[in-house]
Homo-oligomer: A and B are copies of this chain.
Amino acid sequence: MYGFNVVSLDQKGRLAIPAKYRNTLLENNETQIVITKDPQYPSLKIYPKSQWIKISSKLESLQGLDPIVRNLQWTILGNASVTEFDPGGRMLILIPIELRKYADLVDQKQISLIGMGNKFEIWNVNNWEMRQTGGSLAAEILDVVLPESIKSMSF
């Protein structure tokens, strides 16, 4: 489940998961997906249920009073919305208005859906393109900014 797609929202604000992803999900018995805010960028994240359980349970287990943690919990848990495949095997996701505002999707007909393997991201088409315009990251920047644990990886 990788790749970049432009998909459309219909007049009711519904989004159809492309068939290639849908089939993979069904094959893995992933009949529910969760959509929520990305805490870092004005975009949305879509997780298959099993992936969501990992993330949400970890977040919920953090009990402390750290305001940043609570903020993360609000953003991610407090905005999650669950959708199931309908009996016909189709999946039309109604993106809640709050999330549409957050990701700048109000009145958008076309949106970007990016497959990231075990999750998807949803972006306003323009915002996504702006993110990408940088082209490739200069080697120097990569060298300076990346944490050690990443530097050692080979891509």
Contact = CB atoms under 8 A, between A and B. Distances in A.
Contacts of A39: 65, 136-137, 142, 155
Interface in A52-72: 55-60, 62, 65-72
A38 B155 contact: yes
B78 A155 contact: no
Interface residues of A, number: 62
A131 B53 CA distance: 26
A40 interface: yes
Q: Say how many copies of this protein the assembly contains.
A: 2
B79 A3 contact: yes
Interface of A: 2-4, 34, 36-42, 45, 55-60, 62, 65-82, 96, 98, 102, 114-118, 121, 131-132, 135-139, 141-142, 145-147, 149-150, 153, 155
Nearest to A146: B68
A59 B116 CA distance: 10
A117 B56 contact: yes
Contact of A150 (B62, B115, B117, B131): B62
